Amino acid sequence: MLLRRIIWVVARGRSPLCDSATVIYPTRQLKCAGCGMVNPSLQSPHSSSSRTFSGLSTTRCGLIYRKMSENGAVPRRGKVLTLDTMNASVKKVEYAVRGPIVQRAVQIEKELKEGVKKPFDEVIKANIGDAHAMGQRPITFFRQVLALCTYPELLDDNTFPEDTKNRARRILQACGGNSIGAYSASQGIECIRQDVARYIERRDGGIPSDPDNIYLSTGASDGIVTILKLLVAGEGRTRTGVMISIPQYPLYSAALAELGAVQINYYLNEEKCWSLDISELKRAVEAARQHCNPRVLCIINPGNPTGQVQSRQCIEDVIRFAAKEGLFLMADEVYQDNVYAEGCQFHSFKKVLFEMGPEYSSTVELASFHSTSKCYMGECGFRGGYMEVINMDPDVKAQLTKLVSVRLCPPVPGQALMDLVVNPPQPGEPSYATFIKERTATLRALAEKAKMTEEILNTVPGISCNPVQGAMYSFPRISLPERAVQEAKAKGVAPDMFYCMKLLEETGICLVPGSGFGQKDGTFHFRMTILPSADKLKVLLNKVKEFHQRFTQQYS
């Protein structure tokens, strides 16, 4: 950058730092018109005070020039930022959902477009929970209100139902200069936070929610990372340990790596439908106390990548455990409307906490997260989300408010969308019937695809798939022949990565290896979304079936 700036200013006769015009001498000597400083080869009057770094020097007034060696050649300078000098914590970050398999899938798509012959003619991506990218239609009401907010001239258009216009006016009135393009309060627009609080109260059977405890966020990811930032402290054995489920959603391991926190794995019980055992939490926390300070317990419910929905009893046990062990609870509830299995129901941690009485509800610290990206909305690109914090120390809350204000505010269109999610059309309003129809159709289709995924995968010898009770993913276990495991090892890749890469090359299906989410040693999985259309999903599942049989034969 700096070198480019120097070239730029030399070309324009300006000093890069003092911005005074410079005179360029034919012998590549620079003279700053601001202070009269010239290149040292002209015996500068204040050359003794010049700073030098990596072959560059500055004059007192800030003119930067390249130092020349004695023979007049400009020495080459290495890059300031290299793999060796960059932030080591960032290098440790991994995010399998967009990892090498996906990069190869993008490349294959290009090759197909260029006419390269493959045994398939399209790549089917089931690697990421991005519903719209997989063809899910947006909810009409949401998009109409957002269109009106974005281009208020449309408020005069008769094709928009009256309730969409009322909503848009209300949102715009809450925006600076009545524009969705203005920054908002850092915690989020106040009337939207109020709507979120009312939504939580309705969802949780009337348990009060205070809008002051609501922070709108840039998707749930931003809220999760922000809370982790507050929690990570200490050095060595006092360093914060954060308990995360294995398999996990890799945002967590990535954020912990970046923050230098200690990751404490607790394993979900695959044999019991990926349920959470309190005995496993105990094992994990006790082992971790030998080397760090466990302070946080993260729960994803409904689960990603495992698709389980926690029972009320399990949530109660987790809260009791957190209280006993002195842990801050983080409840990732972005899939709260994605519950499909009979007998399963979403219970929010907040509700269960308050139903357990004041011993818990007035002491256990909890942050819970929601998003516009999942459920029936699938509006990932708007980056809408919120978090609710409970029992947070008021002084820490002030720090949280300060921290979020550094980044000004979450995207205002995302906030507007969050508002519509928590405050959808009501019976009697013009948009109500269409809204219900669209929402029901999307959730019903997801439920059917969840069932289809489990059923087809379980017909394949060597694949076993737990019921997809909720969320948008299945995480089936795959048996891999020993010879395939050895070949993968010889190639230096995880066996399930080897499997998924071969699957992609042979069938065009893009899944994520289980190793990207964590799994018990010696077990192998892949994660696939249930988001492709039912027809495509069927094709995908049957191709996986054929591939698995072929792969098993080839390596047996």
The residue ranges that bind ligand PLP (CB under 6 A) are 129, 219-221, 249, 251, 300, 304, 332, 334, 371, 373, 380, 385
- Give the whole-angstrom CA distance, residue 453 versus residue 458: 8
The angle, 0 to 180 degrees and rounded to 10, between the axes of the packed helices 495-507 and 100-113 is 10
274-297 core/surface letters (b: 16 or more CB in 10 A; e: else): bbbeeebbeebbeebeeebbbbbb
Residue type (1 letter), 445: A
Q: State the minimum distance, in angstroms, from the CB of residue 504 to ligand PLP.
A: 21
Task: Give the residue nearest to ligand PLP (CB).
Answer: 219
Residue 379, CA distances (Å) to 29, 178, 196, 472 in order: 57, 24, 17, 14
Residue 32 or 251: the one with the smaller Cβ distance to ligand PLP is: 251
- Give the whole-angstrom CA distance, residue 76 versus residue 72: 13
DSSP-assigned letter for residue 276:
-
Q: State the minimum distance, in angstroms, from the CB of residue 126 to ligand PLP.
A: 13
Residue 180 or 225: the one with the smaller Cβ distance to ligand PLP is: 225
Residue 64 or 530: the one with the smaller Cβ distance to ligand PLP is: 530
Residue 418, CA distances (Å) to 240, 387, 467 in order: 32, 11, 30
Q: State the minimum distance, in angstroms, from the CB of residue 475 to ligand PLP.
A: 12
Residue 163 or 337: the one with the smaller Cβ distance to ligand PLP is: 337
- Give the whole-angstrom CA distance, residue 160 versus residue 147: 10
- Give the whole-angstrom CA distance, residue 284 versus residue 298: 13
Residue 50 or 127: the one with the smaller Cβ distance to ligand PLP is: 127
Q: State the minimum distance, in angstroms, from the CB of residue 319 to ligand PLP.
A: 19
Residue 249 or 321: the one with the smaller Cβ distance to ligand PLP is: 249
Q: State the minimum distance, in angstroms, from the CB of residue 193 to ligand PLP.
A: 17
**Contact between residue 264 and residue 241 where contact means Cβ atoms under 8 Å apart:** yes
Q: State the minimum distance, in angstroms, from the CB of residue 155 to ligand PLP.
A: 29
Residue 9 or 416: the one with the smaller Cβ distance to ligand PLP is: 416
- Give the whole-angstrom CA distance, residue 94 versus residue 248: 12
Residue 203, CA distances (Å) to 230, 351, 554 in order: 28, 9, 52
The angle, 0 to 180 degrees and rounded to 10, between the axes of the packed helices 219-231 and 394-406 is 130
**Contact between residue 462 and residue 479 where contact means Cβ atoms under 8 Å apart:** yes
Residue 35 or 380: the one with the smaller Cβ distance to ligand PLP is: 380
Q: State the minimum distance, in angstroms, from the CB of residue 472 to ligand PLP.
A: 8
Q: Find, among 224, 134, 217, the residue nearest to 532 by Cα.
A: 134
Q: State the minimum distance, in angstroms, from the CB of residue 490 to ligand PLP.
A: 33
The sign one gets for the Cα dihedral 201, 470, 250, 510 is negative
Q: State the minimum distance, in angstroms, from the CB of residue 298 to ligand PLP.
A: 10
Q: What is the 3-state secondary structure (H, E, C) of 394-419?
A: HHHHHHHHHHHHHCCCCCHHHHHHHH
Q: State the minimum distance, in angstroms, from the CB of residue 131 to ligand PLP.
A: 10
Residue 333 or 365: the one with the smaller Cβ distance to ligand PLP is: 333
Q: Find, among 427, 442, 510, the residue nearest to 123 by Cα.
A: 510
Residue 351 or 370: the one with the smaller Cβ distance to ligand PLP is: 370
- Give the whole-angstrom CA distance, residue 337 versus residue 485: 38
Token pair in block for residue 114:
């260029």
Q: State the minimum distance, in angstroms, from the CB of residue 471 to ligand PLP.
A: 7
Residue 249 or 526: the one with the smaller Cβ distance to ligand PLP is: 249
Number of H helices, E strands in the chain: 18, 19
Q: State the minimum distance, in angstroms, from the CB of residue 448 to ligand PLP.
A: 21
